[in-house]
Structure 1
Amino acid sequence: MTVAVAMNSTPEGREALVQGQAEATLRGTDLVVLSVIDADSVTSAHRDAAEAQARQVLGENSFTVRVEPDGGDPAGALVDLVSDVGATLVIIGSRRRSAVGKFLTGSTVQRVLLDSPVPVLVVKAKEH
Protein backbone atom coordinates (compact mmCIF):
# COMPACT_ATOMS: atom_id res chain seq x y z
CA MET A 1 0.00 0.00 0.00
CA THR A 2 1.22 3.46 -0.87
CA VAL A 3 -0.14 6.97 -0.44
CA ALA A 4 0.80 9.24 -3.34
CA VAL A 5 0.81 13.04 -3.18
CA ALA A 6 0.80 15.33 -6.19
CA MET A 7 3.26 18.06 -5.27
CA ASN A 8 3.54 21.63 -6.50
CA SER A 9 4.82 24.86 -4.97
CA THR A 10 1.43 26.40 -4.13
CA PRO A 11 -0.11 26.58 -0.64
CA GLU A 12 -2.52 23.88 -1.80
CA GLY A 13 0.40 21.69 -2.86
CA ARG A 14 2.05 22.13 0.53
CA GLU A 15 -1.20 21.21 2.30
CA ALA A 16 -1.43 18.08 0.12
CA LEU A 17 2.03 17.07 1.39
CA VAL A 18 0.98 17.60 5.01
CA GLN A 19 -2.20 15.57 4.52
CA GLY A 20 -0.29 12.89 2.60
CA GLN A 21 2.11 12.41 5.50
CA ALA A 22 -0.83 12.21 7.91
CA GLU A 23 -2.61 9.61 5.76
CA ALA A 24 0.55 7.52 5.28
CA THR A 25 1.16 7.54 9.04
CA LEU A 26 -2.48 6.68 9.79
CA ARG A 27 -2.44 3.79 7.30
CA GLY A 28 1.07 2.62 8.22
CA THR A 29 2.18 2.80 4.62
CA ASP A 30 4.76 4.44 2.38
CA LEU A 31 4.50 8.00 1.10
CA VAL A 32 5.44 8.77 -2.49
CA VAL A 33 5.68 12.37 -3.62
CA LEU A 34 4.81 12.80 -7.30
CA SER A 35 6.01 15.72 -9.38
CA VAL A 36 5.28 16.21 -13.06
CA ILE A 37 7.39 18.81 -14.80
CA ASP A 38 7.07 20.76 -18.03
CA ALA A 39 10.22 19.38 -19.64
CA ASP A 40 11.26 16.82 -22.23
CA SER A 41 13.28 14.75 -19.78
CA VAL A 42 14.06 14.54 -16.07
CA THR A 43 17.53 15.28 -14.74
CA SER A 44 19.06 14.70 -11.33
CA ALA A 45 18.64 18.46 -10.76
CA HIS A 46 14.87 18.08 -11.19
CA ARG A 47 14.81 15.21 -8.68
CA ASP A 48 16.99 17.10 -6.20
CA ALA A 49 14.78 20.20 -6.45
CA ALA A 50 11.60 18.14 -5.93
CA GLU A 51 13.10 16.36 -2.93
CA ALA A 52 14.27 19.65 -1.39
CA GLN A 53 10.82 21.18 -1.88
CA ALA A 54 9.14 18.19 -0.22
CA ARG A 55 11.71 18.13 2.59
CA GLN A 56 10.81 21.76 3.46
CA VAL A 57 7.29 20.61 4.33
CA LEU A 58 7.86 17.02 5.49
CA GLY A 59 11.08 17.52 7.41
CA GLU A 60 12.83 14.27 8.28
CA ASN A 61 9.78 12.07 7.63
CA SER A 62 10.39 9.20 5.23
CA PHE A 63 9.18 9.53 1.64
CA THR A 64 10.15 8.72 -1.93
CA VAL A 65 10.09 11.22 -4.80
CA ARG A 66 9.10 10.39 -8.38
CA VAL A 67 9.56 13.05 -11.06
CA GLU A 68 8.34 12.61 -14.63
CA PRO A 69 7.88 14.92 -17.64
CA ASP A 70 4.27 15.85 -18.26
CA GLY A 71 4.36 15.33 -22.04
CA GLY A 72 1.95 18.25 -22.41
CA ASP A 73 -0.67 16.48 -20.28
CA PRO A 74 -0.02 16.99 -16.55
CA ALA A 75 -3.19 15.16 -15.46
CA GLY A 76 -2.43 12.16 -17.66
CA ALA A 77 1.18 12.04 -16.47
CA LEU A 78 0.02 12.19 -12.86
CA VAL A 79 -2.52 9.40 -13.34
CA ASP A 80 0.18 7.28 -15.02
CA LEU A 81 2.52 7.88 -12.07
CA VAL A 82 -0.21 6.89 -9.60
CA SER A 83 -0.52 3.56 -11.40
CA ASP A 84 3.27 3.10 -11.70
CA VAL A 85 3.88 3.46 -7.95
CA GLY A 86 0.98 1.18 -7.01
CA ALA A 87 -0.77 3.86 -4.98
CA THR A 88 -3.93 3.03 -3.05
CA LEU A 89 -4.78 6.71 -2.51
CA VAL A 90 -3.72 9.92 -4.23
CA ILE A 91 -3.87 13.34 -2.60
CA ILE A 92 -3.95 16.53 -4.62
CA GLY A 93 -4.32 20.19 -3.67
CA SER A 94 -6.92 22.41 -5.28
CA ARG A 95 -7.80 26.08 -5.19
CA ARG A 96 -11.20 27.63 -5.68
CA ARG A 97 -11.92 28.61 -9.26
CA SER A 98 -14.89 30.27 -10.89
CA ALA A 99 -17.16 28.27 -13.18
CA VAL A 100 -15.97 30.36 -16.14
CA GLY A 101 -12.32 29.69 -15.25
CA LYS A 102 -12.97 25.96 -15.12
CA PHE A 103 -14.80 26.04 -18.44
CA LEU A 104 -12.10 28.03 -20.25
CA THR A 105 -9.00 26.32 -18.94
CA GLY A 106 -10.15 22.89 -17.79
CA SER A 107 -8.88 21.47 -14.55
CA THR A 108 -6.01 19.13 -13.81
CA VAL A 109 -7.70 18.20 -10.54
CA GLN A 110 -10.95 17.39 -12.34
CA ARG A 111 -9.14 15.15 -14.84
CA VAL A 112 -7.29 13.35 -12.05
CA LEU A 113 -10.58 12.82 -10.20
CA LEU A 114 -12.19 11.34 -13.30
CA ASP A 115 -9.25 9.28 -14.56
CA SER A 116 -7.54 8.04 -11.39
CA PRO A 117 -7.70 4.27 -10.85
CA VAL A 118 -7.66 4.82 -7.05
CA PRO A 119 -9.54 7.11 -4.65
CA VAL A 120 -8.52 10.79 -4.71
CA LEU A 121 -8.46 13.09 -1.67
CA VAL A 122 -8.64 16.74 -2.69
CA VAL A 123 -7.43 19.28 -0.12
CA LYS A 124 -7.49 23.06 0.08
CA ALA A 125 -4.91 25.24 1.77
CA LYS A 126 -5.81 26.25 5.28
CA GLU A 127 -6.84 29.86 5.58
CA HIS A 128 -4.93 31.90 8.07
Structure 2
Amino acid sequence: MTVLVAYVPRPEGQAALDKGIELATQNNEQLVVINAGPGGRSEDPNVVSGYEVERVEERLASLPIKAELKVFVRGNSAIEEIEEMVQTLQVSVLVIGLRKRNPVGKLLLGSMAQEILLNVPCPVLAVKAD
Protein backbone atom coordinates (compact mmCIF):
# COMPACT_ATOMS: atom_id res chain seq x y z
CA MET A 1 0.00 0.00 0.00
CA THR A 2 1.02 3.60 -0.58
CA VAL A 3 0.53 6.88 1.21
CA LEU A 4 0.18 9.57 -1.47
CA VAL A 5 0.93 13.20 -0.57
CA ALA A 6 -0.14 16.13 -2.74
CA TYR A 7 2.70 18.59 -2.16
CA VAL A 8 2.97 22.31 -2.84
CA PRO A 9 5.88 24.51 -1.68
CA ARG A 10 3.85 26.35 0.95
CA PRO A 11 3.10 25.76 4.65
CA GLU A 12 0.05 23.61 3.89
CA GLY A 13 2.16 21.45 1.58
CA GLN A 14 4.75 21.03 4.32
CA ALA A 15 1.98 20.02 6.75
CA ALA A 16 0.74 17.40 4.27
CA LEU A 17 4.29 16.10 3.77
CA ASP A 18 4.88 15.85 7.53
CA LYS A 19 1.63 13.93 8.07
CA GLY A 20 2.26 11.66 5.08
CA ILE A 21 5.72 10.78 6.40
CA GLU A 22 4.24 10.07 9.82
CA LEU A 23 1.51 7.78 8.43
CA ALA A 24 3.73 5.91 5.98
CA THR A 25 6.40 5.34 8.62
CA GLN A 26 3.89 4.18 11.26
CA ASN A 27 2.26 1.73 8.84
CA ASN A 28 5.47 0.75 7.02
CA GLU A 29 3.98 1.78 3.68
CA GLN A 30 5.54 3.29 0.59
CA LEU A 31 5.36 7.08 0.39
CA VAL A 32 4.87 8.88 -2.91
CA VAL A 33 4.93 12.67 -2.90
CA ILE A 34 3.42 14.26 -5.99
CA ASN A 35 3.82 17.82 -7.15
CA ALA A 36 2.23 18.89 -10.40
CA GLY A 37 1.16 21.78 -12.55
CA PRO A 38 0.17 22.31 -16.15
CA GLY A 39 3.39 24.05 -17.15
CA GLY A 40 3.49 26.68 -19.81
CA ARG A 41 5.28 29.94 -20.39
CA SER A 42 5.02 31.39 -16.90
CA GLU A 43 6.44 29.81 -13.78
CA ASP A 44 3.87 28.11 -11.57
CA PRO A 45 4.49 28.86 -7.88
CA ASN A 46 2.89 25.52 -6.99
CA VAL A 47 5.52 23.49 -8.87
CA VAL A 48 8.72 22.70 -7.01
CA SER A 49 12.09 23.27 -8.61
CA GLY A 50 15.76 23.62 -7.79
CA TYR A 51 16.58 23.75 -4.10
CA GLU A 52 13.06 22.74 -3.04
CA VAL A 53 13.28 19.49 -5.05
CA GLU A 54 16.65 18.71 -3.47
CA ARG A 55 15.37 19.50 0.02
CA VAL A 56 12.33 17.20 -0.31
CA GLU A 57 14.35 14.41 -1.95
CA GLU A 58 16.99 14.55 0.80
CA ARG A 59 14.30 14.32 3.45
CA LEU A 60 12.66 11.36 1.72
CA ALA A 61 16.02 9.61 1.30
CA SER A 62 16.57 9.75 5.07
CA LEU A 63 13.38 7.81 5.84
CA PRO A 64 13.36 4.12 6.84
CA ILE A 65 10.69 3.43 4.18
CA LYS A 66 10.59 3.56 0.40
CA ALA A 67 9.77 7.13 -0.57
CA GLU A 68 9.94 9.17 -3.76
CA LEU A 69 9.05 12.59 -5.16
CA LYS A 70 7.30 12.79 -8.52
CA VAL A 71 7.10 16.17 -10.24
CA PHE A 72 4.83 16.46 -13.28
CA VAL A 73 4.69 19.45 -15.62
CA ARG A 74 3.18 17.96 -18.74
CA GLY A 75 0.04 19.91 -19.49
CA ASN A 76 -2.31 18.28 -16.99
CA SER A 77 -3.73 19.99 -13.94
CA ALA A 78 -2.54 18.95 -10.49
CA ILE A 79 -5.93 17.32 -9.89
CA GLU A 80 -5.64 15.23 -13.07
CA GLU A 81 -2.16 14.06 -12.04
CA ILE A 82 -3.33 13.20 -8.53
CA GLU A 83 -6.31 11.25 -9.87
CA GLU A 84 -4.03 9.33 -12.24
CA MET A 85 -1.64 8.42 -9.40
CA VAL A 86 -4.55 7.25 -7.24
CA GLN A 87 -5.69 4.99 -10.09
CA THR A 88 -2.15 3.68 -10.73
CA LEU A 89 -1.06 2.98 -7.16
CA GLN A 90 -2.72 1.10 -4.32
CA VAL A 91 -3.31 4.21 -2.23
CA SER A 92 -4.31 3.70 1.39
CA VAL A 93 -4.73 7.44 1.96
CA LEU A 94 -4.20 10.67 0.04
CA VAL A 95 -2.90 13.50 2.23
CA ILE A 96 -3.61 17.08 1.17
CA GLY A 97 -2.91 20.41 2.82
CA LEU A 98 -5.57 23.06 3.30
CA ARG A 99 -5.30 26.81 3.58
CA LYS A 100 -7.86 29.31 4.72
CA ARG A 101 -9.32 31.41 1.93
CA ASN A 102 -11.94 34.08 1.94
CA PRO A 103 -15.29 33.49 0.20
CA VAL A 104 -14.31 35.57 -2.84
CA GLY A 105 -11.10 33.55 -3.27
CA LYS A 106 -13.10 30.33 -3.15
CA LEU A 107 -15.56 31.67 -5.71
CA LEU A 108 -12.90 32.88 -8.16
CA LEU A 109 -10.43 30.02 -7.85
CA GLY A 110 -12.69 27.15 -6.86
CA SER A 111 -11.53 24.61 -4.35
CA MET A 112 -8.95 22.05 -5.42
CA ALA A 113 -9.51 20.25 -2.12
CA GLN A 114 -13.22 19.94 -2.81
CA GLU A 115 -12.61 18.62 -6.31
CA ILE A 116 -10.15 16.05 -4.98
CA LEU A 117 -12.53 14.97 -2.22
CA LEU A 118 -15.35 14.47 -4.71
CA ASN A 119 -13.33 12.68 -7.39
CA VAL A 120 -10.81 10.29 -5.85
CA PRO A 121 -11.96 6.82 -4.75
CA CYS A 122 -9.57 6.54 -1.78
CA PRO A 123 -9.69 8.04 1.73
CA VAL A 124 -8.45 11.64 1.86
CA LEU A 125 -6.85 13.22 4.91
CA ALA A 126 -6.85 17.02 4.88
CA VAL A 127 -4.37 18.77 7.20
CA LYS A 128 -3.84 22.42 8.04
CA ALA A 129 -0.55 24.20 8.56
CA ASP A 130 0.26 25.44 12.06
Q: CA deviation at 1:67?
A: 2.2
Where do 4+ consecutive residues of structure 1 move more than 3 Å?
46-51, 55-59
Residue of structure 1 aligned with 2:56, choices 34, 54, 57:
54
Supply the distance in 1 between the matched residues of 2:32 and 2:124 (Cα, whole angstroms). 14
Determine helix, strand or coil for the equivalent of 2:15. Answer: helix
- State the match for 1:111 in structure 2: 115
- State the match for 1:10 in structure 2: 10
**Aligned AA for 1:60?**
S
- State the match for 1:69 in structure 2: 73
1:30-54: CA deviation from partner (whole Å, max 9, x where unpaired): 11111113326xxxxx787664242
In the alignment, structure 1 segments of 5+ residues that lack a partner are 41-45
- Equivalent positions of 1:91-106 (< 5 A) are 91-106=95-110
**Aligned AA for 1:124?**
K
Supply the distance in 2 between the matched residues of 1:20 and 1:70 (Cα, whole angstroms). 25
- State the match for 1:43 in structure 2: none
In the alignment, structure 2 segments of 5+ residues that lack a partner are 41-47
1:70-108: CA deviation from partner (whole Å, max 9, x where unpaired): 635221221112222221210011101122211221011
**Identity over aligned residues, as a percent?**
33
Supply the distance in 1 between the matched residues of 2:80 and 2:31 (Cα, whole angstroms). 20
Supply the distance in 1 between the matched residues of 2:58 and 2:129 (Cα, whole angstroms). 16
Contact 1:91–1:120 (8 Å) recurs in 2: yes
- Equivalent positions of 1:81-100 (< 5 A) are 81-100=85-104
Length, aligned pairs only:
121
Contact 1:47–1:65 (8 Å) recurs in 2: no
Contact 2:38–2:75 (8 Å) recurs in 1: yes
**Aligned AA for 2:89?**
V
- State the match for 2:82 in structure 1: 78
- State the match for 1:19 in structure 2: 19
For normalisation by structure 1, the TM-score amounts to: 0.80
**Aligned AA for 1:23?**
L
Stretch deviating more after TM superposition (86-95 or 31-40):
31-40
For normalisation by structure 2, the TM-score amounts to: 0.79
